[in-house]
Amino acid sequence: MSRHSFIVHGKLALPYQYFAGSLGSKFIRALRDEKRIFGTKCSKCNTVYVPPRSLCDRCFLDIRDNIQDVSNEGTVITYTVVNHYEDHYPCKPPFILGLIKLDGATTPMVHIIKDVPIDKMRSNVRVRAVFSKYPQNTILNISHFEPIDYSVFERGYTYEELEIGMSASFTKTITETDVYLFAGISGDFNPMHVNEEYAKHAIFGKRVAHGAVPQSLIAPVLGTKLPGLGTVAIEINTRFKRPTYFGDTITAIATVKEKIEDKKWVKMDLRFINQRGEIIAKGEAVVMPPKG
């Protein structure tokens, strides 16, 4: 059918202006000249609107004169990541758009959040306004928001974020040095660990590592990977199956096995495997993951 019907192609480019009004202009000027953010407060319902409005639409009250300064710092209520490109965007995707509730405000405002690794972004992060170097005369007088404390992005998984089946591991080759250092740390100079001639006639035929040496490899897994930073170990049980000889490469693996709802703790299944694929130990740990 389309072969027989004309299609009229057109392009509309209609210019327009938008008048910010007296109150809106005052807000923009305060951002630009004083790096100050203010809202307007309804005397009836105590809502502090940021950016300011002249009318409380719930109470239908003129509030334009009831100006209230709010903090330049606030909390990200929620956020999204913009991945596609549009001409009007102020920065190149991907970037984070957050709903930021400034301290002292009732309503959150939308703005860009920068200097955060996108895959590490999360809600409830504390941020502060970074003001634009040059006047923009729009809300972009605030260039963006940046995190106040970067360490929050290194926090491990919370109880809510952890799912059964998630797993992580750490691998290390156990050397003679490790064993002798551990003997010094623990005072355990048992000849089966430190006397080769003695060990030749003992059960394993040569020197072996202390059991706690491979076992300890689970600590970097639980403490820095899964759940990760902020985790507190409650209980670790290990059953040893095979010896670890000097030069063996051991992988410690932790897998989320069970979520203990009433305590908000997590039970982890532990496995320790050598370079030959043999299980040298198995176990179970109970940990308290970090809070959001």
Rule CB under 8 A: which residues touch another protein? Answer: 6, 8, 10, 12, 14-24, 53-55, 57-58, 60, 62
Least distance (Å) from another protein to the CB of residue 4? 15
Nearer to another protein, 62 or 154 (CB): 62
Q: What type of residue is 140? A: L
Measured CA to CA, the distance from residue 140 to residue 132 in angstroms comes to 7
Least distance (Å) from another protein to the CB of residue 85? 21
Nearer to another protein, 39 or 227 (CB): 39
Nearer to another protein, 23 or 125 (CB): 23
Q: How many residues does this entry show for the chain?
A: 292
Least distance (Å) from another protein to the CB of residue 136? 18
Nearer to another protein, 14 or 203 (CB): 14
Q: Are 115 and 146 in contact (CB under 8 A)?
A: yes
Cα dihedral 23, 24, 30, 31 in deg (nearest 10): 160
Nearer to another protein, 57 or 115 (CB): 57
For 258-283, b/e burial (b = at least 16 CB within 10 A) is ebeeeeebbbbebbbbbeeeeebbeb
Nearer to another protein, 21 or 184 (CB): 21
Least distance (Å) from another protein to the CB of residue 28? 12
Least distance (Å) from another protein to the CB of residue 261? 39
Least distance (Å) from another protein to the CB of residue 49? 9
